[in-house]
Amino acid sequence: MTITQDFTNLLENDKEAELIPFLQKLDKAQKKELVPALKRLFKVYSAFSQEAGIGSVRPKWSNAQRNVLGIAGFVCHNQKDFEQSNWGVINKETLDTILPWYCPAWFSDFINSYANQDFTPYFLNYDWYMELVEQNYVIETPALIAKILPNYIIESKLREHKYVPENLLKREITLKEHIWYIFEHESGVNWSYRYINLPEKSKDGLWIDTFKKYTDENKIDRKRLLKVSLKASNNNFNQTLSGWFIELFIKLEPTKAEVKELQEALFQALNSPHSKVVNTSAKYLKDLTDEKEFLVDAYLDYAVALLTSESKTVVAGALMTLDKLAKKHPDQREQICVIACQAFIHQDNSLQLRAAKLIQKYGHTQVDTLKETIQTYYDALFSEARDILIGFAIAFVNENSLTEDALPDSEASIIEIRMPENFDDFVFLASQSFDQNETYHFDLLPAAVLKFQHKMTADNILKLMPAFQRAYKIITSDWNSTMGYLDNMLAKFFISYGQLLVNFTPFAAEPIRQMQKTFVKLEDDKKANWSGYQTRLGGIKPWDVYTHSLGYKPHKHILLNAFFMLERKINLPLLSTPTHEPCWVSAVALIERLSLYQKANVMPGEMDLQVAIARCLPNHPEEALKLADEKLTGEYRAFMGFVLGEDNHAKDSYKCKTAWLMAGVAKSSPNIDAEWSSLTGLSQPYLNGEFGWESKVEDYFRKEYNYNLKEYVNIPDKQKIIRVNFGDKQKKTSTFKAVLNKLLPGQKEIEPSVYDYTELKFEYISAEHNDIKRLLYLMPRQPDILLAHIINKGFHYVDFMGENDKRLVIYTLETLLTLNYRYGTMSHLFVATCMISSDKTVRTYAAELWIKGVAEGLLDSNAIGRIIGKHERIELAPLKRFTDLIIANMFQISKKHNSALEGLLCHCVEQMGDTPINGCKKLLEIYAEVLAINKSKIALEHVIALLNIWESTESLKKIIQKLKNAG
């Protein structure tokens, strides 16, 4: 029998006891011979399979067989092969039976390789590792010791754990050398015991306690420990580990004399990227300022880093220290003043004031360097600091001030959309239409299909096949994160058109038929494999979203309108296809399109016309009116004239009532005239988007798992919410009138308009955020109704619950920035609520909308202030979000904006309660600063009265005095 056969026999028959004598007999060549068989057997025995009758999945081997393979591998393999088949053989118990007679050359490298792994294997502990080192099987590696030593002060048996710091005394070398490795190599000393519960001891700080214990007992050199812990905190380790080392330093409570000796290390620690390390070092250094050994030059070198710190305490501390140093060292005052200027980067009045006072005290107005430095920072200063530093002014006009970026001018920068001119353009449009590269691709595709419907030759259809394939894939594949329901709707429209082509020109459209067949088969296969599978293929006609939301109806109606014309081979364009970005239809184009319908004597689609009017851009009115005179007659001429500024009115005989409604709304929003609301069944407040709303604290029940009862229980709790009350959607009609309407002949029901369909319906947001832009572009001049829905859904829990609802709000903000309309109640509520949102991107967008709205006179800044004031009455969100936003994005934009900001702040304070909320001081500071800049005073009596009440709060006294004296 060969070696391999012997081994296989031994393995198959579970003869574990015979393994070691067998392996001991093998020479080098025989071991090598066994390797291929070992690899093969390992593969066979380690393969997982389902155990008959049980249903659980497990490998083929028994425990004994696994050991046999593992041990044989340890003896025969090289390191690489062993690593690939190592299964539980590396442990003290097993290796004690092998190492005395055989230790592979690679064993030391193998064990030490764990130093570079992200994890420490459970079998490797300090005791055993040291035994291996002591028996010369393994060469000692500091990095690995640093990794395994932290676990050495706990002994664990099953779930019992015991704190045994005395383990560190077992070997002399442990405290003498090994303990220091922890400070040089990355280890888990900071989190080793996170998951262990010790009955008699708090698990926090076990290692810190251990260090303290042995330094107190003089078993660890305290001086060295202080030095290395400080150094380790700045060793480029991760944040928590660095933080742990500085914590150890603090807990060791260094004396002033000790700190003095560690000055240099403390200075270096100021370089650390971790704030805890920097802040702690700065604190210790500050305490040394009065000492004569204090290294002044070194401090001045590092002061810049401290003054730019995010922590206000650190900056204030540094300024205090600089003040002391300037007092003590007159020769360095100039340098100190220049350094102190760094504090001006903080948009914080008290810090700026402190720095300015220091400069005023020690700086010379004749020193050029100082004047130049102050000059650089001047634009960033608050008025108080500015006033103090007036003597240092060269000429307070910043010549290098940066050129401003203008906001896109919505009227001037209007960009024309290119409609496909030839079939090739159409092909490339079709293949990207379902990606929403542009929102208007949704409109462009059906328009292009209509335009090229008469060019569907076999060759051209072939060119469209990649687009058809994309459409099929969009419908049948899994949803992706950028897809909206509208993309699915558009894809279904396109494949429906494909089927129409198969009917019209079976020969030319054969590839489409084949493709349909392929995808139908794929869908059938999926259905056969998965009983719950819902077949996804289907046309545009039965399309619906699972929520059955009405919000998607207008888009569907327009696509059905296009499909209707394709079915009948009607060669007319859609009216609502945008001609200019992002959604506008130029008046000239609309007149041209309408004239085609008039000429053909075809009634346009109801929804298509409504959306076209809603999107109509009345630019170049004179030219457009001239064209309307030439090309339109009757009702079309009348309402286009109205759109373009003429004083026309809807007559009873007119057929397109909803088109008149859209034109009327577009023109008079947000205060829609009663004349127009008579053209709809919607109530006037609803049409105006004038909904009631409130931000309030609501009682509710929170579900919490009760471990004793082993079930979820309802816990009463409170939550802060915003709710919009939509009121009555439809006009109230008396029963008598309703009956009369039914009985009287010729009474036509009012057609539903886009606004009847406006809705955002979901319990959990799925893909609606990817549609929101396109939904908003249905009503670009009166988005308030949809915004009310967005507020109710997007701010359901004030702070976002997930990424999708955040995106819903961000995409809405993005869309609003591209529109020019007068803000109604809901638009103000939306923007104001976004200003205190938990997401900075959302807040910044809201600020940009405010900047744009103020510049163009489209919004009421005071109304924004009132809403935020109402929200903050119940502290709906931390006020800091809002004050930070003002400083960063809304302050000092222009004179006009400063004036609007003043109104905003005044009305915000007006709405607050008698008890000042957290963060009020900062708000009032900003208000005072804005008043100072505007050379203005508090405009509302109620605000003065409120401030008088607030004045009883000690911390607000000073700022309120300042406010009252403003102007």
Partner 1 sequence: MSDTITYQYNRSSAFNKSASLDELFLAKYSEVQKKDAPCFFWGRLTDPYTTARCLLTLSNVVQSSFNLSPFQLALLKDPIVTAGNEKIRFEGFSHCAGVYARVDVLGDGHDGEFLESGTTNVDFNQPMLSALSNVRKNENVLLSIGQKEVGLHRENEKVIERKVPLPVKWIKALTSVQMFLSESEKVHSFNRLQALQLFKTIPSGKPKTDYYLLIRGGKPMFSPVKSNDAITVGGLHRLKLIEPLLAIADELRVFPHATMQATTWQVYIGAIRFTLSLSRDTWRGFSGEGAGLESLIEDVPDNWVELVDNYSYANQEFNATLLAVNEGLDLQKVANITGRLSAIGLLGYDLDENNFFYRRLPFKLSRIMSLNPRLKDAEKLLLEGKVKIVSRESNKVEAQVEGSGVKHIVILNGDREQCTCTWFSKNQGERGVCKHILAVKKLIIN
Contacting positions for partner 1 (CB under 8 A): 118, 184-186, 231, 234-237, 264, 267-268, 271-273, 298, 301, 304-305, 308, 344-345, 376-377, 379-380, 398, 401-408, 413, 424, 427-428, 431-432, 435, 437, 462-463, 465-467, 469-470, 515, 518, 803, 810, 817, 840-841, 844-845, 848, 851, 888-889, 891-894
Question: ∠206-211-212 over CA atoms, to 5°?
Answer: 95
Q: Report the residue number, 829 or 885, with the smaller CB distance to partner 1.
A: 885
From the list 267, 281, 341, the residue with the least C-alpha distance to 311 is 281
3-state secondary structure of 580: strand
Q: Report the residue number, 448 or 515, with the smaller CB distance to partner 1.
A: 515
**What minimum distance in Å lies between the beta carbon of 748 and partner 1?**
45
Q: Which two tokens stand for residue 726?
A: 């939509």
Q: Report the residue number, 474 or 662, with the smaller CB distance to partner 1.
A: 474
**What minimum distance in Å lies between the beta carbon of 810 and partner 1?**
6
Q: Are 789 and 825 in contact (CB under 8 A)?
A: no
**What minimum distance in Å lies between the beta carbon of 185 and partner 1?**
7
Helices (H), 201-311: 206-216, 222-232, 239-251, 256-261, 263-269, 275-286, 296-307
Residue 537 backbone dihedrals phi, psi, to 5 degrees: -70, 150
Q: Report the residue number, 154 or 337, with the smaller CB distance to partner 1.
A: 337
Q: Report the residue number, 498 or 869, with the smaller CB distance to partner 1.
A: 498
Residue 757 backbone dihedrals phi, psi, to 5 degrees: -90, -10
Q: Report the residue number, 276 or 556, with the smaller CB distance to partner 1.
A: 276
Q: Are 447 and 419 in contact (CB under 8 A)?
A: yes
**Alpha carbon distances (Å) from 437 to 480, 706, 749:** 15, 49, 39
Q: Report the residue number, 463 or 580, with the smaller CB distance to partner 1.
A: 463
**What minimum distance in Å lies between the beta carbon of 942 and partner 1?**
30
**What minimum distance in Å lies between the beta carbon of 120 and partner 1?**
15
Q: How far is residue 44's CA from residue 645's CA, in Å, rounded to a whole number?
A: 85
**What minimum distance in Å lies between the beta carbon of 932 and partner 1?**
16
**What minimum distance in Å lies between the beta carbon of 308 and partner 1?**
5
**What minimum distance in Å lies between the beta carbon of 914 and partner 1?**
34
From the list 833, 822, 830, the residue with the least C-alpha distance to 860 is 822
**What minimum distance in Å lies between the beta carbon of 814 and partner 1?**
8
**What minimum distance in Å lies between the beta carbon of 495 and partner 1?**
14
Question: ∠842-845-848 over CA atoms, to 5°?
Answer: 155
From the list 677, 641, 685, 643, the residue with the least C-alpha distance to 661 is 677
Q: What is the largest CA-CA distance in the chain?
A: 111
Q: Which two tokens stand for residue 654?
A: 């007119």
**What minimum distance in Å lies between the beta carbon of 131 and partner 1?**
25
> In which region does residue 882 sit, left (phi positive, over 0), alpha (psi from -120 to 50) or beta (all else)?
alpha
Q: Report the residue number, 368 or 954, with the smaller CB distance to partner 1.
A: 368
Q: Are 565 and 622 in contact (CB under 8 A)?
A: no
DSSP states along 105-147: TTHHHHHHGGGGSSS--TT--HHHHHHHHHTTSS---HHHHHH
Long-range contacts, 586-590 (Cβ 8 Å, 24+): 586/616, 586/617, 586/619, 587/616, 587/617, 587/618, 587/619, 587/620, 587/621, 587/624, 587/640, 587/643, 587/644, 588/620, 588/623, 588/624, 588/627, 590/616, 590/640
Residue 220 backbone dihedrals phi, psi, to 5 degrees: -120, 140
**What minimum distance in Å lies between the beta carbon of 271 and partner 1?**
7
> In which region does residue 383 sit, left (phi positive, over 0), alpha (psi from -120 to 50) or beta (all else)?
alpha
Q: How far is residue 155's CA from residue 491's CA, in Å, rounded to a whole number?
A: 64
Q: Report the residue number, 691 or 850, with the smaller CB distance to partner 1.
A: 850
Q: Which two tokens stand for residue 829?
A: 């509520």
**What minimum distance in Å lies between the beta carbon of 517 and partner 1?**
12
Contact residues for 764 (Cβ-Cβ < 8 A; gap 6+): none
Whether the link from the prior residue into 582 is cis, omega within 30° of 0, is: yes
**What minimum distance in Å lies between the beta carbon of 484 and partner 1?**
15
Q: Report the residue number, 196 or 298, with the smaller CB distance to partner 1.
A: 298
Q: Report the residue number, 461 or 908, with the smaller CB distance to partner 1.
A: 461
3-state secondary structure of 424: helix
Q: Report the residue number, 236 or 529, with the smaller CB distance to partner 1.
A: 236
Helices 333-340, 296-307: inter-axial angle, 10-degree rounding: 20
Q: Report the residue number, 210 or 375, with the smaller CB distance to partner 1.
A: 375
**Pairing, β 585-586 against β 711-725:** unpaired
Q: Are 921 and 950 in contact (CB under 8 A)?
A: no
Q: Report the residue number, 431 or 695, with the smaller CB distance to partner 1.
A: 431
Q: Are 584 and 414 in contact (CB under 8 A)?
A: yes
Q: Report the residue number, 63 or 841, with the smaller CB distance to partner 1.
A: 841
**What minimum distance in Å lies between the beta carbon of 886 and partner 1?**
12
Q: Report the residue number, 193 or 237, with the smaller CB distance to partner 1.
A: 237
**Pairing, β 692-706 against β 711-725:** antiparallel
Q: Which two tokens stand for residue 332?
A: 């360095």
**What minimum distance in Å lies between the beta carbon of 341 and partner 1?**
9
